Amino acid sequence: MTAVATREATLAAEPTHHGIARVTKSQWFSPAAAVVMFLVALFFIPAFFDSFWIANFTQMAVFSIVAASAGLLYGRVGLVSLGQVASYGIGCWVTIRLSFGTPWPFPIIVIIGGLAAVLVGVLIGLPALRVSGLYLALVTLMLAAGMEIVLNNFKFANGGPGFKGVATSLSDIKPTRRPSFALTDVTYYRFLVVGAFVMFILASLLLSRKPGRAWESIRQSEAAALAAGIDVTRYKLLAFALAAFMAGVAGGLYAGTVPKGMSIDAFNRQSAIFLIAVVIMGGIYSLWGGLLGAFFATCLLKFLTQNVIGHQFWTRFALSLFGFGLLVNLIQSTRAAEKKGIQA
């Protein structure tokens, strides 16, 4: 959030078109850095880390997509959605259900899961056409809470019969499917890294083109964007659809990381709040922020648990850590904005 003030200040001080051009061309996702990061994640990490850390980097890859999707909405379009967890959950539910119900290739059902999440994303986006700011955050928080209740009732499929596909007998519960080419943890991790890379590239491509410029304009002033002939409705819905697709795909990819009996804990209200804290701590004005936030929330916490205190202290205390981080970030960005003489 410190970056909020810096960017606000820059955009206020410089001609607007200059600010937009600078943001879209250089800040979002440097291609060279992205490729290096991708290659390191693909080859270096599996070669030098054991299975424990591979599992953590797998979680990080999934979480980075969800965090980047929420950051994209907040940082780029200025819409705070606390409902990204709902899209994440829908993507996961659809992927798991189809993985048991159809013989379709895993990557295809992950994409279908993402598309199903788009429907939810657009549903969440509809109120966003009329409200913004606090009311939007509250609406999306309520939708996330509502989705938790829906998932609680539907439960995740586990190879059982019927529409829900839920088996009640322990002996009938089947393991979640993975792609045939990524059955081991390391190969699935690599599959996830490729999936995350594709999602980041997709977001980056849209951000550096016409939609990205339209979103920047809407974020700065919706009235000015309307006056400039930008179809605000279309671009807001596109933003929600893209963010939901990313979160849905992340949910689908997450499905393969849990061998049996997916729990709804990753998709509850607390996760929705935790996600926004992670996103703000990582930084909302760059896709890298999603990656950084995900690193904090997964690998750093595990490192602290392993090496500093242990006994699950940091895992339990993670909420406090991120709560404190969220507060510090908000206060720092306020101070930075006031220093620049801007009322944020």
Partner 1 sequence: MPGLGEFWPYIIQGLAFGAMYAVTGTGLVVLYQTTGVVNLAFGAIGCMGAHLAWSMLGGSLSKPTPHAEGWRILAYPLLVVVCAGLTLAYGICIAPLLARRDPLVKSLGTLGLALLLLGIMKERWDTSKPRAIELPSKKFTVAGGVVTTTQLVALGFAILVVVVVTIFLKQTATGTAMRAIANDRDVSSLLGVPTRRIEALAWLGSGVICGCVFLMLPPLFKSLDQGTLTWFIIGALGGAIVGQFSSLTVTFFASMAIGVIESVLTPFSNNFQFMSDFRKMTPFIVAVAAIMWISRRRTVVLAGREMR
Interaction site with partner 1 (CB under 8 A)? 80, 127, 129-131, 133-135, 137-139, 141-143, 145-146, 149-150, 153, 222-223, 226, 268-270, 273-274, 276-277, 280, 313, 316-327, 330-331, 334-335, 338, 343-344
**How far is residue 28's CA from residue 213's CA, in Å, rounded to a whole number?**
12
**How far is residue 241's CA from residue 204's CA, in Å, rounded to a whole number?**
15
Least spacing, CB of residue 102 vs partner 1, in Å: 26
Our CA angle for 334, 8, 337, nearest 5°, is 20
Least spacing, CB of residue 337 vs partner 1, in Å: 8
Least spacing, CB of residue 138 vs partner 1, in Å: 6
Least spacing, CB of residue 74 vs partner 1, in Å: 10
CB closer to partner 1 out of 15 and 341: 341
For residue 93, give both structure tokens: 């539910």
**How far is residue 230's CA from residue 197's CA, in Å, rounded to a whole number?**
30
**How far is residue 80's CA from residue 72's CA, in Å, rounded to a whole number?**
10
In 10 A of CB 19, how many CB atoms? 18
CB closer to partner 1 out of 112 and 284: 284
CB closer to partner 1 out of 306 and 320: 320
Residue pair 79/298 in contact (Cβ under 8 Å)? The answer is: no
Least spacing, CB of residue 339 vs partner 1, in Å: 12
**How far is residue 293's CA from residue 114's CA, in Å, rounded to a whole number?**
22
CB closer to partner 1 out of 9 and 37: 9
CB closer to partner 1 out of 160 and 179: 160
The DSSP secondary structure of 62-88, one letter per residue, reads HHHHHHHHHHIIIIII----S-HHHHH
CB closer to partner 1 out of 107 and 121: 121
Least spacing, CB of residue 21 vs partner 1, in Å: 25
